Structure formats: C-alpha cells, structure tokens
Amino acid sequence: MSRNRPREEQANGQQGGGAPANGTVNGTAAPSVSGVRPTILDLAALCGVSPATVSNALADKPNVKAETRDLVRRKAREIGYHASSAARGLRLGRSWSIGLVVGDIANPFVPDVVRGVEDVVWRERKNLILCNTDFQAEKKTAYVRSLLDKQIDGMIVLSQILDAQDMERVAAAGIPLVTVNRRAPDFSTDYVGIDNQSGVRMAVDYLVSLGHRRIAFVKGLFRSSSADDRFAAYQAAVQAHGLDGDPSLAVQGDYSMESGDSAARSLMALSQRPTAILAANDLMALGALGALHDLGIRVPADVSVVGFDNIQLAEHPLLNLTTINHPKRETGDAAARLLLQRIAGDRNEPPRSVVLKPSLIVRGTTAPPPSTPKPRRRRPVTVRGTGDGG
C-alpha cells in the first residue's frame, strides 16, 4: 500500500515499485505498468524538445542539430519507442502496404509468384497484404474495397481480372495496379506475364521434331487472355507445320486437374487418337496423365504429354512431366518492382509491360509416336485437384 512505501519512493512518485508517475527513472523512461507503448509526447518530454523536433530527428531531417538527433535516437532506443506507421500514414495518405490479390492460394503455381513479390516488398521494408478470392466475384469486390479502405500504396492482381466496377474504384482512388498473367480488358494497366506464344510454339516444335503429326490441345479458361494466347499459338503452330487441323483435337478445359482428366478421355475416345497432348497448364497435363493411366494407355510409349508452367509437382520422379517453364518467382519479382517504380514515379506515364521468356523442360512424358495405336483398356483410377496456372 502507498502509506508503507519508503519516503524516497514516494518522493519520486512511484506506485508499488512500478514505473514513476512521470515515466522516468534517472532521466530514462521506464516501461509502463499498464504495458502502454511510449508515445512521441513521452519521448519529447524525456528529451526536453517538442514533438515536431522528435519527428524531424527520427526522420533525419537536416534542420535538427546532430547532438539533438543523437539524443532523440538514443532515448528512443532506451524506452523502446517506435514511430507509429499508422499515424504517419494517416498524415501522409500512405500505408507502406501492397495488396496482392490471388484466385487460389492452394494452386501450386501461386506460392512461387507470391514469394517473388514478398522478397521485393520485404527488402523495401513494406507490408504485403495477401487476399485469396477463390475466384468469387463477391470476395474479389470485398477485398478490393478493404484494401482501398486501408489506403494501400499499390495492388497486384494475379491470374484473374477485376470486374469493371472494381477497376473503376481502383482507378478513382489513384492506386497503381499491376496485373499478372492476364490483361485487364478495356483498362490499360502495368502488366507482367510470360511469352505464351513462344512457349506453346516451343512445345509444338519439339513434338514435331519427335515425329508427332496429330497433336491435341487442352485449352484454358474462357475469358482469360493467357488462355487465348496459348490456344492461338497452338493454332498458328499447327498451320505452320502443316499438321492435322482436326477441330476435335482442341478440347476445352478450365485449368483444373479434373478438366485435364475429362479432356484426355474425350481425346482417347476419338476414332483417330492423337499421339500427343499439349495442355495449357501443368495441372491439366497431370489430370491427363491420370486419365491415360486409368485407360491403360502408356505415357510416353503410346501418347506423349506436355504441360505448361513447370510447377514443382511436375518434377516428381513418378510424374516427370515434360513442360514449358514459366519463371514464377521472377514473375512476382518483376511485378513488385514494376509496382514500386510506379508508386515512386510518375503515375501518368503510359502503362508498361514486362514479358518473361519461357523455356522447354524435357522430362519423361514425351517420346516419338508409336507406329501403331494401342488398344484401349480401362482401370478405375480417379484424379482430383484444381488450379489456375495461367
């Protein structure tokens, strides 16, 4: 109780052996009993200067004397003071935060891209806010509004597009936006992606070099610019090589494993089967491998399979998928750099694009075509999984 405190302790205004009433012990602020973090007012009082001087000293402004700046910084370390980024952001209209909107964080294509973004954002001492929409319009809109409410400095949208109203909200807020893998229709934004045409052409050229003439293609999502680019490249390559242009060889998919499984079954039911299947992403290629295994069709002895993206699962020895490498971490790195440049520079400059180069990764699912098609056999195996690698 206070009546039993030593006289010296009472004179200093201490309460029960805790911090003094004025927050100092021998000129040094002590931690508060309540655990409240020290404020700029506490630090200013401790140093005998104004809060404005404290702010300028911590910001290394030239109008503060060196000895005052050193004093403020030393006392700030002693009491554990850290400037409130929220308060500073409110004052300057900044948050030092970047919003990253992805469609499906469980898609094996996504983590490497996110890691590329995060590496750059971390080096620049900014915060990354990750939003997973599950490709649901309602969630996309809710996250966009939430990010704008948080006064983010910029936004990256990965492998999906925002609807027109959300795009208008972002534009009206003056928030820089970078789209990755898919271009926003009717809006001009900074963009990072891969050379889809070159990647598909590499795959077709390689299959042709092995002797394949009847090459099937599993398409990606409707209304996806990357899916459209890859299918257009397939059509151009078929024509350039004078291959079989049978329209039944092009089957619609949706970037999921299930759609790859279904596409492969449809293709194997044709009276004249393809000798190779090129899928617009790896997950559909893996789905195709599952269906071919189920049907008793050997890969690559009977049918070759090629994917696109080179996700980590494609390297597994039991899959060993031939694919087109999409440099995913480099994609995230480029998107973050482009966004930070836009934030720091002239926001009225024309939109910029960064297009990365693909490469062919030859593994164990491709070989020359068989001379004679093999009979069909069926075994019950199901393959499940979803994704959106484009």
Half-sphere exposure of 286 (CA within 13 A, CB side): 25
Q: Give the closest residue to 183 by CA, choosing from 175, 194, 174.
A: 194
Q: Are 105 and 55 in contact (CB under 8 A)?
A: no
Q: Residue type at 258?
A: E
Taken in order 303, 306, 312, 313, is the CA torsion positive or negative? negative
Q: How much is the pTM?
A: 0.75
CA 126, CA 150: separation in Å to the nearest integer? 14
Other C-beta atoms lying within 10 Å of the C-beta of residue 60: 9
Cα-based torsion angle of the residue sequence 134, 163, 196, 268 in order, rounded to the nearest 10 degrees: 60
Residue in the block written with tokens 């009993």: 33
Strand partners, 14: 20
Q: What is the pLDDT along the chain (390 residues), one digit of tens a residue?
A: 333 433 333 333 333 333 333 344 344 444 443 457 788 888 899 999 998 898 888 878 889 999 999 999 998 888 888 766 555 554 545 568 999 999 999 999 999 999 999 999 999 999 999 999 999 999 999 999 999 999 999 999 999 999 999 999 999 999 999 999 999 888 899 999 999 999 999 999 999 999 999 999 999 998 899 999 999 999 999 999 999 999 999 999 999 999 999 999 999 999 999 999 999 999 999 999 999 999 999 999 999 999 999 999 999 999 999 999 999 999 999 999 999 999 998 788 999 999 999 999 999 999 999 974 444 544 443 334 444 556
